[in-house]
Structure 1
């Protein structure tokens, strides 16, 4: 992993079978930010956990934030932490 690029860690509950959801979130982040990311890691957990961290900072927590993020919201949160000046295109447009 490049030291100057963000590391995303998605921890998901194996008991709840949230691997596909975690993988989809990882795919969405990689599709949007591509080579600007240093790593996207999937970490199995238990007890209903679903968290997303960026460089060690919690940016989404299922219990705290009331469920799962949609892809656009997760991308906004990552962008806001790492590249606040970056535009996200169509996923950022307000309806």
Structure 2
């Protein structure tokens, strides 16, 4: 079964570009594992990412936006735990 990622972003903060870039990165990396990446407009400084309804990132709780490598690891852990992400899995 394919997974669904949702990215709830603040339109007041103009975070559509950031949300769509993250969606593009996830679809490029997990094209076979993801059935959908939905961009959901919101307000009030919100930026939350969920996989199959389980929240994996909240900008307010984590005090910022995820690095793309961290986001890919969080998504991978839910949709394809055994998958090697190559350079994204290597520590700096």
The TM-score with structure 1 as length reference comes to: 0.94
**Which residue of 1 is the match for residue 17 of structure 2?**
20
Unaligned residue ranges in structure 2 (runs of 5+): none
Conservation of the 8 A alpha-carbon contact between 2:69 and 2:88: yes
Q: Which has the higher strand share?
A: 2
Alignment of 1:1-95 (within 5 A): 4-95=1-92
Stretches of 4+ moved more than 3 A in 1? none
Q: How well do the aligned residues superpose, as a CA RMSD in angstroms? A: 0.7
Unaligned residue ranges in structure 1 (runs of 5+): none
The TM-score with structure 2 as length reference comes to: 0.97
Aligned length: 92
